Structure 1
Amino acid sequence: MTDTTVSLVPLRSTSGSGEGQSWLTSLADWTVSLMEIIGPVGAGVAIALENLFPPLPSEVVLPMAGLTASRGSFTLFEALLWTTIGSVVGAFMLYGLGRWLGAARLRAFASKMPLLHPEDVDRTVAWFERHGGKAVFFGRMIPIFRSLISIPAGVSKMPLWRFGLLTGAGSLIWNTIFVLSGFLLGENWHIVEEYASILQYVVIAVVAIGVAWFLYSRVRSLLASKREGDRDGSAPAPRDA
């Protein structure tokens, strides 16, 4: 087996300096070490953990599987197979969390939150029942959402076979892109992570704008209801759906 200490030196030398980069380098080193110790199963374990903890970037974990495969520790096919298995396993764990939470618990939670309504849960579940297939498939190729999309799938009780098939298909496409990048780029794997970070920042910005707009709209609605109630000399009007 290739000596782990020697094989990890190029990763440190190409990652640059800085606190964020040092964290990514440590993650890359750990991922490669895991794969070189227990083989392609390590790639599956790493990507399953990435699904459970979205802050762990698949844009780093997956190229490491390709890089390790390029060094001969295992084959490219094994890297793709086990990363996809890991993606599906991690997704099913979050799906189970969604099934356990259920719409009833989420409605109860929403009723206790100042800016949330139980009807928000109903609308989300209804939307997912109409578009859940596309959401799961394409969601597996969007940073952050690729993990979180499994929870509403569980809440809406999407059939297990359908969820597994869509998750596996979407994950295979995403995994193939990044595993092949690591396999072909070799020690220059960090190039793909730099470009993938742009997509992640775009997703975060879109989510932040969406949340800000939701809060603005909901607060404005509550204030309008309060003003209307004051003018009528009665209790505020019921909350918007």
Structure 2
Amino acid sequence: MVTDILNWLQNLPQPALVGATGLLVFLECTIGLGFLAPGESGLLVAATTAHTVPRFLILWAVVTVCATTGDSIGFLIGRRWGPRLRETKLIQKHGVDAWDRATGILHRRGAWAVFFARFLPVIRTLTPAAAGTSGLPYRKFLPAAFAGALCWSALHISIGVALGEAAKKIESAMSTGGFVILAVLAAVGIFFVLRRRKKHAAAQQEHTGSKI
């Protein structure tokens, strides 16, 4: 089943798959939408299809550009609305702590915080807007956001490719005798569980009899 799903994904039109992944990442990086759009999960799934060098490079380039663009929009929103963003219902409900952490890191680390926040869930979504609110110049923000997106996308695409190959190998091993081994282990496990329950029941019965 795993191999069938992976083959189905790999046979999808590449432009559509890459475009959908880029859109998910873009939405995740835009302030607030990261709570709704599973960009990281979608990237890992799509990355299982990036088993050739051209596919890897295309997905990497598209995701990097989409992530950087989403971060830039988040930055501009922060620059436009400022600290009032912290009082919005969405951030009050989902991310006040993450907003405060992002703001604190930005004040201490500046552009470096933008780079490292890319690898932190939730904080990744709020950092661009917090950077715009903090007054960090865009000329410093953009290189850090691009470098973070470049490294983050390369890491997750590599993980996705590795997971896809590992899943195929595991399923192949299971189909060539693994199911027999699994059945034997399950039978042994059931035997010991039943044996333990029988001993426990006998001990309880003996204990009850001694009380009487």
TM-score, with normalisation over the residues of structure 2?
Answer: 0.58
Match of 2:45 among 61, 64, 68: 64
Which one-letter code corresponds to 1:64 in the other structure?
Answer: V
Q: Could you tell me how far 1:36 is from its partner in structure 2?
A: 3.4
For structure 1, list consecutive stretches of 5 or more residues without a partner in the other structure: 1-5, 12-28, 111-120, 190-241
Match of 1:143 among 103, 121, 130: 121
Greater relative contact order (Cα 8 A, min sep 6): structure 1 or 2?
Answer: 2
8 Å CA contact 2:117, 2:123 repeated in 1: yes
- Say which one has the larger Rg: 2
Pair 80,37 (structure 1): closer, same or farther in 2 beyond 3 Å: closer
- What RMSD, in angstroms, separates the aligned Cα atoms of the two structures? 3.8
8 Å CA contact 1:35, 1:43 repeated in 2: no
Report the counterpart of residue 184 of structure 1 in structure 2: 162
Report the counterpart of residue 226 of structure 1 in structure 2: none
Q: Could you tell me how far 1:84 is from its partner in structure 2?
A: 0.8
Aligned length: 153
TM-score, with normalisation over the residues of structure 1?
Answer: 0.51
8 Å CA contact 2:106, 2:131 repeated in 1: yes
Counterpart mapping for 1:1-241 below 5 A: 10=5, 36-38=14-16, 40-52=18-30, 53-55=33-35, 56-70=37-51, 75-103=55-83, 105=84, 128-186=106-164
Q: Could you tell me how far 1:134 is from its partner in structure 2?
A: 2.3
Q: Could you tell me how far 1:41 is from its partner in structure 2?
A: 3.5
Q: For residues 124-161 of structure 1, give each alpha carbon's deviation from its aligned partner in whole angstroms, at most 9, with x where no partner exists.
A: 96873442222211111111111111111011232212
Alpha-carbon distance between aligned partners in 2 of 1:106 and 1:10, rounded to the nearest angstrom: 41
Pair 131,33 (structure 1): closer, same or farther in 2 beyond 3 Å: farther
Q: SS of the counterpart of 1:142?
A: coil
Alpha-carbon distance between aligned partners in 1 of 2:38 and 2:70, rounded to the nearest angstrom: 14
Runs of 4+ in 1 over 6 A off after TM superposition: 32-35, 124-127
Report the counterpart of residue 201 of structure 2 in structure 1: none
Q: Could you tell me how far 1:176 is from its partner in structure 2?
A: 1.3
Q: Could you tell me how far 1:106 is from its partner in structure 2?
A: 6.1
For structure 2, list consecutive stretches of 5 or more residues without a partner in the other structure: 89-98, 168-212
